Amino acid sequence: MDRLIADDQLIARVAAADPVALETLYMRHQNRVFGFIARIVRDEAVAEELTNEVFVDVWKHAGGYEARSRATTWLLSIAHNRAISALRKRREEPWDDDTAASLPDEADDSEVALQKADKGRLLRQCIDALSTEYREIVDLVYFHELSVAEASTVLGIPEGTVKTRLFNARKRLSVLLKDAGVDRGWP
């Protein structure tokens, strides 16, 4: 009947060194964690390894989980830290908000191709072309459906910064779309 146990209870069992509970959590959440990380690091092999490390972290630190947030939020928080740490190592440079904000968007030379795509696909390509920090907040809010407080927990930033970061990401989307020939009339 393990399959009917809530995530919080499973984490409590993981804290008591129950590997079956960890495996159940893994089967339940591996796709979400893998997808979230893969969107940040853009390398599926690396994402695969980092996903495993996230669940090793869960094994080690389950005792510190306080259930003040949803288990999903906790897992994504660990995943965020793992992914950003991997990016840091890859870039071999310090990572902070200023650094993140100064990173160029990843649109490269695809604008001509973008113009040929239909509107939905174009919007998707522009989302993919956002900088890492903008893409991450967009994914967290639109795909993982986190609240302001949950996104704040995952990213380790104030709630006000969550709102402004998403707002700026959306404005940046408008710029990318405009560059590709689509004026959506906002902002």
Partner 1 sequence: MSEDTKTKRDEVEMMLPFYVTGQLDHAEANEIDDYLKRHPDVARQLDLIRAERESTASANAIYASRPARSFGRVAAMIGKPSAQPARSADWLDWIKRLFALPSSPALSFVGAAAAIVILLQAATIGTLVVAQYSGIFNTAGGNGPVDGGTTVVVRFADDASATAIADVLSGLGVKIIDGPSGGKLFTVRIGPKNMSEAEREQLIAALRARRELIVFVTPTS
Residue 145 tokens, joined: 């459906």
CB of 32 to partner 1, least distance (A): 3
The C-alpha atoms of residue 71 and residue 126 are separated, in whole angstroms, by 31
Shortest Cβ distance from residue 94 to partner 1 (Å)? 28
User: Does residue 13 touch partner 1 according to CB under 8 A?
Assistant: no
Report the sign of the C-alpha dihedral through residues 69, 79, 173, 184, in that order: negative
CA distance 41 to 59: 23
| CA 138/CA 10 separation, integer angstroms | 29
Q: Which of residues 84-143 bind partner 1 (CB under 8 A)?
A: 120, 123-124, 127-128, 138-139, 141-143
Q: Which two structure tokens, joined as six digits, stand for 84?
A: 């950003």
68 makes contact with partner 1 (CB under 8 A): no
**CA–CA separation, 32 vs 183, rounded Å?**
33
Report the nearest approach of partner 1 to the CB of residue 21 (Å): 9
Instruction: Sketch the per residue contact string, 145 through 174, with partner 1: x for CB under 8 A, - otherwise.
Output: xxxx--------------xx-xx--x--x-
Q: Which two tokens stand for residue 97?
A: 């908000």
Selected binder of partner 1 within 13, 34, 153, 176 (CB under 8 A): 34
Report how many residues bind partner 1 under the rule CB under 8 A: 51
Give the chain's end-to-end CA distance (angstroms, integer).
Answer: 52
- Alpha carbon of 117 to those of 96, 133, 140, 172, 184: distances in Å? 35, 25, 25, 19, 16
Does the footprint of partner 1 cover residue 32 (CB under 8 A)?
yes
- Answer for which of 59, 81, 95, 157 binds partner 1 (CB under 8 A) is 59
Which residues are at the interface with partner 1 (CB under 8 A)? 1-4, 19-20, 22-24, 26-28, 30-32, 34-36, 38-39, 48, 51-53, 55-56, 59, 120, 123-124, 127-128, 138-139, 141-148, 163-164, 166-167, 170, 173, 184-186
